[in-house]
Amino acid sequence: MAYSEQVADRVRAAFGERTEVREQKMFGGIAFMLAGNMCIGVLGETLMARVGPEQYGDALAQPFARPMDFTGRSMRGFVYVEPEGFAD
């Protein structure tokens, strides 16, 4: 699946001038890496966000968030956020 360049541009803008963030193609989308770990990514129009295991339950309780189950199993500490969840 391709990724939305518009959504990726919004992520880039949010990081601003931070030089330690790297982009890497991953999962058919694009991931933004910090210290070698994905912190956020874009798959289609959807965000993939690392929230950590401690915040996972709270993140899932938010509107438009759902488990990140790319492999068929939920990845604890990561959520998908639908576009409505990060609209202007």
pLDDT tens track for 45-84 = 999 999 999 999 999 999 999 999 878 898 899 999 999 9
Element (H, E) at 15: helix 5-15
* Rounded CA separation 79/64 (Å): 10
Number of domains observed in the structure of the chain: 1
- List CB contacts of 18: < 8 A, sequence separation 6 or more: none
Mean pLDDT value across residues 36-43: 95
Range of the domain at 64: 5-86
pTM (2 decimals)? Answer: 0.88
Query: CA separation (Å) from 72 to 20, 24, 54, 67?
Result: 31, 22, 22, 10
